[in-house]
Structures are given as C-alpha cells and as structure tokens.
Amino acid sequence: MSYSEENIVTLEGLDHVRMRPGMYIGKLGDGSADDDGIYVLLKEVIDNSIDEFRMKSGNRIDITIEDNYVTVRDYGRGIPLGKMVDAVSIMNTGGKFDNRSFHKSVGLNGVGTKAVNALSERFIVSSVREGQKKTAEFSKGKLVKEYPVEPTSEKSGTMVQFLPDASIFPNYAFSMPLVENRLRNYAYLNSGLTLTLNGEKFASADGLLDLLKENISTDPLYPIVHLKNEDIEIAFTHTNQYGEEFYSFVNGQHTSQGGTHQSAFREAIARVIRDFYGKNQEFSDIRNGIVAAISINVEEPVFESQTKIKLGSKDMGPEGPSVQKFVLDFVTREVDNLLHRDKEMAEVLQHKILQNERERKAMAGVSKLAREQQRRANIHNDKLRDCRFHFNDTRVKDEQKNEYMEQSSIFITEGDSASGTITKSRDTNFQAVFGLRGKPLNSYGKSKKVVYENQEFFLLQNALNIEDGLDGLRYNKIIIATDADVDGMHIRLLALTFFLQFFPELVKKGHIYILQTPLFRVRKTTQKVTTTRYCYTEEERVAAIKELTPNPEITRFKGLGEISSDEFKDFIGDGMRLDQVILRKGDMIQDVLGFYMGANTQYRQDFIVQNLTVQEDML
C-alpha cells in the first residue's frame, strides 16, 4: 500500500473520540449490561457533580432519564462561564489538574465530559454562577449554538443534558435497575448527598454499613463491623456462603475490578485476624464466607483503564504512604482492638474459621483425585474450546490486559450439537466454549466437596480459574447458552444454582448472563431477493408475518444445534442479546434456591399450578 503525505491526517476537535470510542468508554453495548458505554457516559457526568459535593459545594444531584434523554443537575459552584464551552469540548481542558481546586478527585484527565459530548447526538450544558447563566448546545461534539450570558434567579450549579448517538449505540436503552444500583453506590460513598432519579431519592446515613445491608444475601454470623477514619472506611462480616465478596471504592468511584486498595484490604484483614488468634491459619480459611467493603481517598489516583474500574496507584499521594501500608496500619489497629473488645464476635469468627479449615482438609483427598481426573479428561481438548487471548495470558502486554479481559467471554452450552455450532460461529480471539454433557447435578444443599467429586463442576471451575476466588477469573462474561425449551430452561437453572451456591460473587459482580436466541425465522424470497427476520418472541413473529405477507416461510428453532453456524454468527456477535443475571434487593440466596431447587413442597406445587393457570389465561 502507498504511504505518503496524504495518509497523514490530523483529527480536529473531538473527532478522535467518535472514531475510536472504545478507547474512552470501553465497549459500546446496548444498555443490557452494567459496563455498557451509555452508563460510562452517565457516570462521567455524575462524577463531575460528585466532585463538587466532595469539595463541599452542593449536597443534591437531580437526574432524569426519559426516552433515553438524560439530564443531570447539580448545585455546586458551576463551571466558570468564560471557559464553559472549552471545558466540555476541548480535550485535556478542565479544572481538575490543579489540586487546589479538586483535592482527591475521581478524574484528573480532562476527558470525561468531552467524550459524552462527542458521543451524543444532542448535548446541552448550562452553568449558573453568582446570578449569571450561560448555555451552549452541541451535536456529535460540534458546537451548534452558544447563547449569551444572561441574569437568572436559579441556584448556582451545572446542568448537562445529553442524548447518546444512536449511530454509535444502536438499539440502546437505559436499564433503570442498573442506573439505580449506580446511584445507590454513589449514596453509600457520599453520606450527606441526596441523589434523585425521576423523583426517587437515594441517600445514605451510614455509608458502607448501608451498602452491606443492601447487598448481603444470607444472614451474617455476627453484626456487620463498620470502621472509618479520615480517607478510609471499611465494613465486613462473615456468612455461611462460599467464597469471598469484596466491594471497593476510590474517591467515591466504584472500582468493580478492585485494584491495589482491595488487594491490600484482603491481605490485611486476613493477617490481623490470624495474628489475633496466634495460629498459623490459612488466609483462605479466614476469608472464606467474608462479605466486605473498603473505600479510600487517594490524591491523584491512577487507574488501569479509562473507565476507572481498577485502581493502579501504589501510593496514597505524591508525599503519602503506600496504599498497602496505609490500609494495613488502619485495619491492624482497628480490627485488633475490636476483636479484643468483642469476645462474642471473636468466638463466632474463630468457629467459622475452624469450620472452613475442617472442610478444606476434608476436600484435600478429593481434590487430589479430581485433579488426576482433570489430567485424564484433558480439559483443553474435551470440554473447553478456549479463546486465544486472556487478560492473564503471558503473550498479552500489560496495557492490553484490561481491554482483553473486558472483551473475553465463555459460552456454557448443552450437548455436542449446540457446542459445535457456537464453536464454529464464535470469535476465536475472545470467545471460549465449555460443553456440558446432559443435565448437571442439582447442587442445592450440597457442600463444596461436590465440586471436586463431580467432574462437570470441577472442570468448569478450572476452566473459569475461580477455585481461589475471582482474582484469577479468565472471562469477563460467563454466558449460559441453552435451548429455548423445557430441558434447556432446566439446565439453565441447574447452572445458575451451581454459581449461586458456590460462587455467588460471580452473580453479584455481574459476570453471569443468559444468551437469548431466536425462536423463529420468518423468511420470504421474491424475485430471487430473500428477506429474513429472526424473532425472539411470539409478538415479533406475528409482526414479521405481517411485514412479509403473503405466505412467508416460518421455521421454529427447537434447539441451538438447528441454527447454522453462519446464521449463529449474528447472534453471538455485535448484535448478541444478553440478559444479565442480577439479584433483586432483599434476595436471600439460600431462600431463593430453597424455594426453586429444594424439596418439592406443597407451597411450591401450588405456586407452579397458580402460575400455569395464569399462562393458560394469557393464551
């Protein structure tokens, strides 16, 4: 190919953001997943308002979302009027580079709001300061109209309105439950701040204590511990669930992938508890069943991705201690004092640790046998069709790891036919396939020993690399892909039971998804031109028949294996329809599993009969 002066291009304004949106907001998505780009746009705008509150200016943020049009109004200081247009339209322009103005801010790179502007088909910003108001309107990053400054009686602050560009985010829609969850996290981390979403208020008086109360899904073994000091706050308890569940935050930002502060907290909490009892206990035994949260404030935080979901900072600030030492000193002092004061809690915790130790030792022999079974099964040739790259692959450069992790996914399928179809259709770089043989065991009520005794479960655990927690998780999305029939639904429920029983944090961290595949294909050929509509519901089928009348060809897909691999590429590519598995507020995992997967009680039979009657009435 030729390479000359004509190939050297200078992009003006925000054109680079529109050309490479993934560099600034991660994946695009359609709004069905919490990490989709439209929520990053929302976060970038709200983060600025949060920073105003953290600078003790304004204690309320009003948000409305109507027909995907977003309005965010804060009551902070407002953007300086003379620089307002520059602040939202010129890269690397902002007030957060100067620590005198924004001490321990969420973002320091002068990019966030500019990316929102560039990726919105309509973007309006208004700033009110000292009785004066200025407004400007943009479209796709280009200034459409700048209004003159005018007097106003409105309260000081900033209002940003934006409509994400449908050409960048096709078929998108904001999910209110996902937005509400984000606002709750903001409230937990900013006591005294009130956020409203379409009139509904979100506020927290007790910070991380409220967060754990909201998210805990099984009864705590002792009252939630809540400790805080300047620049750090922690909360924790233990439950009888398996695994570890950590929530972490930096400067009010939810770091969903953890980072240096979460790693320091995990080590510190285990170390101080072990030292208190004076026994050489395994850290895994101490942490198994823990539900905990940490929030710290860091000067000039460094994140490992543009979307700020994993902290990379090693120090609390240019002249501060290391993050590890800061967290360890606080946890050692406060938790050790607590254990000496609260003898009842210390006894309950010790009993839990000893119980974990006994179970781990009981599984040691089983685990050895299972590992031998794993070698014989030859996981990489038998059950798992792996993808080429992972975030922890030695071939992947450090700067690519987060990007690759966010793109990676694994499909859990049933049977050789479905597994073969997805294997042929997938993106081999980032999509893996794990094939189940028949229906897996109902694991409700079983101990974790069954994971090592059951080959299907053991190999799945190893494929995901979650035996020792989520730190080594090899795929960002775990997608259950089963047939759209009764047997497929049952396998889906059995897989979900496995994850909720032994690895609930996978669900709580938003890693589990259900693949939606079409039930019908409606096709018509006229004058050698074929028009095809794939329908996921009966309503879509009826609409497609009306569109393609008369007498289109209708195919009912009874299983994934009936869909050709060429067709299936459309269903696991950019247009993939995924339902994220989420727990509703107040869901107690063991209660949910007990009802749906436990003994076939009369209460459950009555529930099924009543709902079957409703379905018959609907038909």
| Structural domains of the chain, count | 3
Q: How confident is the model at residue 617 (pLDDT cuts 50, 70, 90)?
A: very low
One domain for residues 230 and 276: yes
- pLDDT at residue 296 is higher than 60: yes
Does 139 map to a domain?
Answer: yes
Residue with tokens 């930096």, as numbered in its chain: 250
Same domain, residue pair 125 and 96: yes
C-alpha to C-alpha distance for 110 and 116, rounded to whole angstroms: 12
CATH of the domain at 293: 3.30.230.10
Ranges 20-24, 26-30, 234-238, 456-460, most confident: 234-238
Q: Residue 401 — pLDDT band, cuts 50, 70, 90?
A: low
Residue 555 has pLDDT above 70, yes or no: yes
Are residues 187 and 217 located together in one domain of the fold?
no
**Residue 491, amino acid:** I
Examine residue 562 and state whether it is found in any structural domain, yes or no. no
Domain boundary among 305, 329, 359: 359
Clarify whether residues 384 and 258 are in a common domain: no
442 lies in a domain?
yes
The residue from 137, 168, 202 where one domain ends is 202
Domain assignment of residue 526, yes or no? no
> Per the omega criterion (within 30 degrees of 0), is the bond before 550 cis?
yes
Mean of pLDDT values over 42-55: 90
Using alpha carbons, select from 107, 97, 57, 87 the residue that is nearest to residue 252.
107
Last residue of some domain: 167, 182, 202?
202
For residue 581, give Cα distances in angstroms to 169, 300, 374, 440, 562.
22, 35, 29, 19, 26
Residue 236 placed within a domain: yes
Residue 572: inside a domain: no
> 194 and 62 in contact (C-beta within 8 Å)?
no
Does 602 share its domain with 471? yes
The token duo for 215 is 């998210």
State whether 350 and 368 are in the same domain: no
Residue owning tokens 């004058």: 527
Residues above pLDDT 90, as percent of the chain: 44
Q: Same domain, yes or no, for 381 and 442?
A: yes
Containing 321, the helix (H) or strand (E) segment is none
The CATH number of residue 110's host domain is 3.30.565.10
Q: Provide φ and ψ at 97, rounded to 5°.
A: -75, -20
Is residue 9, in this structure, part of any structural domain at all?
no
Regarding whether 473 and 370 lie in a shared domain, the answer is yes
Q: Judge whether 568 lies within some domain.
A: no
Burial of 505: CB neighbours in 10 Å, binned 0-12, 13-18, 19+: buried
Q: Is residue 373 located within the same domain as residue 257? A: no
Helix orientation angle between 589-597 and 602-618, rounded to the nearest 10 degrees: 80
Q: Is the pTM of this model over 0.85?
A: no
> What domain range is 478 assigned to?
362-517+580-618
Assess whether 144 and 84 both reside in one domain. yes
Can you give the pLDDT at residue 615?
Answer: 42
Same domain, 163 and 251: no
Residues 195 and 216 in one domain: no
SS3 330: helix
Task: Report how far residue 282's alpha carbon sits from residue 354's, in angstroms, rounded to the nearest whole number.
Answer: 10
